[in-house]
Structure 1
Amino acid sequence: MSNGSLKLRRRCQAVIDRLDLPHALSVEALCQHLAARRARPLRLHTLPSEASTHGMCGLWLATDTEDHIFYEHRTAPLHQEHIVLHEIGHLLFNHRTMSMDDEGSWGALLPDLDVRSVQSLLRRTNYATREEQEAELFASLLGSRIHNPYRQQPDGILGRLEVAMGVDRPRDTP
């Protein structure tokens, strides 16, 4: 694992650790937890069918009062979950906003969107940027936590080495 990859993993894991999540977790419970913690509603929506023609499979939209995450509904449930977690990564890392200059295309995609109320808008199309890679690794790490909630936490120097190298331990049943 390169030094850059290790730093990225540590940043993502630090954000997850600060969330103070319960062991048993679902995406829905995570959204409720984040909404309560941030004192802002977090709503999930399926993307309109037109989104795929724009190359989108996920989108985070922050208005003045709430957050919205849109995800592709014509894919497997596990992939839908990963898309949502990826967008939550953008939200928690407070990644930069896309340009809202082309209101016409956003109006066609999200006709009820009041562009004046939008604070942040990020869509997921590729993984070429640092922000996309950060959100993607965040989603993978948190998804692993959701699907393996009782993984034993490593102890001592060996445990710290495992964490640093990204070693996943086998699941221990409760």
Structure 2
Amino acid sequence: MTPRLRNIHSCRKLVRSLRLEPYASAYELCDQMSSLRGRPIHVVEWPLPIPGPMGVWVSRTHDDVVVVQERAAGVHRDHIVLHELAHILCAHEGEAFPEYASALPTLGDTADGGPVLRLRSVYDSDSEREAELLAAAFAERLTDDSCEPEVAWDVHRYFAGG
């Protein structure tokens, strides 16, 4: 588990410390993080219920799966993946949500006691704030020109109440 990341500056410092190769998408970053962690991270697009979570992290016995709302596109889809990746990197606690399990693809090989899920739908906890700030720091390093660098500032302003 990472130490609590209290602000965008600590998130940027963590991202720099990972010494990542340039990446043009969240999917490329997932590949790098898989290699660094020695544990695969797979991204699956799926028709998640609307209204409902835009992204879900499923922790399985031998890998992690990020399920993304199939209707999300472009920078929004990348941000959802980056947010879930931040939950994985920070080892945030998951919660069992059996009501969403039927809406997910058949993933098999889930951890004992059923899938452990982290839903991205509200930002009312320290772990959600931390994941959102870390996702913004990851987004700043995207080499794809379609990513707006002001994303981190907007997120910081949102949480500061400005």
Q: TM-score, normalised by structure 2?
A: 0.74
Equivalence for 2:104: 110
Higher fraction of helix:
1
Q: Does 1:14 align with 2:19?
A: no
| Percent identity for Structure 1 against Structure 2 | 29
Partner of 1:29: 28
Of 80-89 and 134-143, more deviation after overlay is shown by 134-143
CA 148–75 in structure 1, closer or farther in 2 if over 3 Å, else same: closer
| Unaligned 5+ runs, structure 1 | 1-5, 150-165, 167-174
Q: Deviation above 6 Å: which 4+ runs of structure 1?
A: none
Greater relative contact order structure (CA < 8 Å, 6+ sep): 2
| Equivalent residues, number | 140
Q: Is the 8 A contact 2:47 2:71 kept in 1?
A: no
Give runs of aligned pairs for residues 76-155 of structure 1, distance below 5 A. 76-100=73-97, 103=98, 105-110=99-104, 112-114=106-108, 116-117=111-112, 118=114, 120-147=116-143
Q: Which moved more, 1:19-28 or 1:74-83?
A: 19-28
Shift of 1:139: 1.1
SS of the residue 1:43 aligns to: strand
Match of 1:58 among 55, 60, 84: 55
Query: Which stretches in structure 2 are left out of the alignment for 5+ residues?
Result: 146-155, 157-162
Structure-2 separation of matches of 1:17 and 1:110: 34
Question: Aligned partners of 1:38 and 1:127: how far apart in 2?
Answer: 26
Query: What TM-score results when the alignment is normalised by the length of structure 1?
Result: 0.70
Distance 1:107 1:71, change over 3 A: closer
Larger radius of gyration: 1
Q: Please give the alpha-carbon distance, in whole angstroms, between the structure 2 residues aligned to 1:77 and 1:22.
A: 21
Aligned residue in 2 for 1:161: none
Contact 1:64–1:119 (CA<8 Å) still a contact in 2? no
Q: 1:83 to 1:24 in 2, by over 3 A?
A: closer
Gap change, CA 1:31 and 1:116, over 3 Å in 2: closer
Check conservation: 2:46, 2:105, Cα contact below 8 A: no
